[in-house]
Amino acid sequence: MPHFHATVRVGLRPSVLDPAGEAVCAAAQRLGHGAIQSIRIGKAIEIQLDAPDAATARQQLESLSAQLLANPVMETWSLELHNREA
Amino acid sequence: MHVGVAVFPGANCDRDVGWALAGCLGWRVTFLWHRDATLPRKLDALILPGGFSYGDYLRCGAIASSAPLLGAVADFAATGGPVLGICNGFQVLTEAGLLPGGLIRNRGLHFVCRDQGLQVESCCSPWLRHFAPGDALTLPIAHGEGCYHIDPPGLRQLEDHDQVALRYLDNPNGSVGHIAGVSNKAGNVLGLMPHPERACDQATGGTDGQALFRGLARWMGFS
């Protein structure tokens, strides 16, 4: 079965305060990076999976993202299906 | 009263809850393993304790919310059984969709551990029948991710359905609406960031938590 590699990026919704991101932004400005306007911290989840085709892999990953990897109450997610190896 | 207390790997308040209910109130306590998909018969109430279930990996309470035990908890709640989630247990209940909203990192980034003044907002939950709206109580809090979040329409819905159970008197974590605890629409499922089990004995600093548990017992017909 073909092998896939995917990255799911999860971040806080824009309306949700990210105090950790604000703290990092303040540190960046303290270090002289005055051009930095805003920092938001999320996570990237790397996933390896086997699936018969890319469409099936995408479907499974979308279901996983909505069900477990992100909480729609305060987070959004996006999926990148990177490459397919024989 | 016969109460089931969930045991998740990484939770660290299950024994405290057991001690408070059995030792201070004389209730019968049965610990429920997270992998069990069924509950013992004739439980009067269920408690999801505080701690760091499954290391709080991914998000607080996220992995516990898909544990086999949570299916049984959802069934128990659906039939009107009283369910209380304390701290991490509250996070688990929101992740499982049994309570609205979610809990995120405290606004000040600090882990806050202190006695917290609270005000009872609604007594529609059987867990709060001892109290009247406006009553003040003090319970310990201890959390790094207790900032309650819900979008404005969700907040309006909570207020309209009398689901805001407790508010902080001096908001310690940035929670929207100073919310410290919410219930489901029916009221039988309650989630609290404060720890009532840590306020059941004068020796540990107060008994306001006991009032919460005793109120439920009285409401259920136990003396």
B5-21 burial code (b ≥16 CB/10 A, e <16): bbbbeebebbebbbebb
- Kindly state the tokens that stand for B55: 């290391």
Query: Quick check: B58 and A19 CB within 8 A?
Result: no
Confidence of residue B110 (pLDDT cuts 50, 70, 90): very high
> Alpha-carbon distance A7 to A43, whole Å?
10
Give the mean pLDDT of chain B.
Answer: 96
B62 Cβ under 8 Å from any chain A Cβ: yes
B142-156: per-residue pLDDT in tens?
999 999 999 999 999
How many Cα atoms sit within 13 Å of B89 on the Cβ side?
A: 31
> What pLDDT score was predicted for residue A83?
72
H helical segments located in B45-200: 68-78, 88-95, 152-160
Structural contact between residues A12 and A42, judged by C-beta atoms closer than 8 angstroms = yes
Contacts of A55 (CB under 8 A, 6+ apart): none
In chain B, where are the structural domains located? 2-219
Segment 80-99 of chain B within 8 Å of chain A by CB:
94-95
Q: Across the interface, which of A15, A19, A75 has its CB nearest the CB of B105?
A: A19
Alpha helix stretches (DSSP H) within B3-113: 14-18, 68-78, 88-95
Among A12, A17, A68, select the one facing B107 at the smallest CB separation. A17
Q: B58 to chain A: which residues are within 8 Å by CB?
A: 68-69
Q: Which domains does chain A have, with CATH numbers?
A: 3-85 (3.30.1280.10)
**Whether residue A86 has pLDDT greater than 60:** no
Q: Give the model confidence (pLDDT) of B112-153 as tens digits.
A: 999 999 999 999 999 999 999 999 999 999 999 999 999 999
CB contact under 8 A, A16 and B149: yes
What's the CATH fold of domain B2-219?
Answer: Rossmann fold (3.40.50)
ipTM of the shown complex = 0.86
Q: What is the pLDDT of residues B54-103, one digit of tens each?
A: 999 999 999 999 999 999 999 999 999 999 999 999 999 999 999 999 99
Residues facing residue B112 across a β-bridge: B143
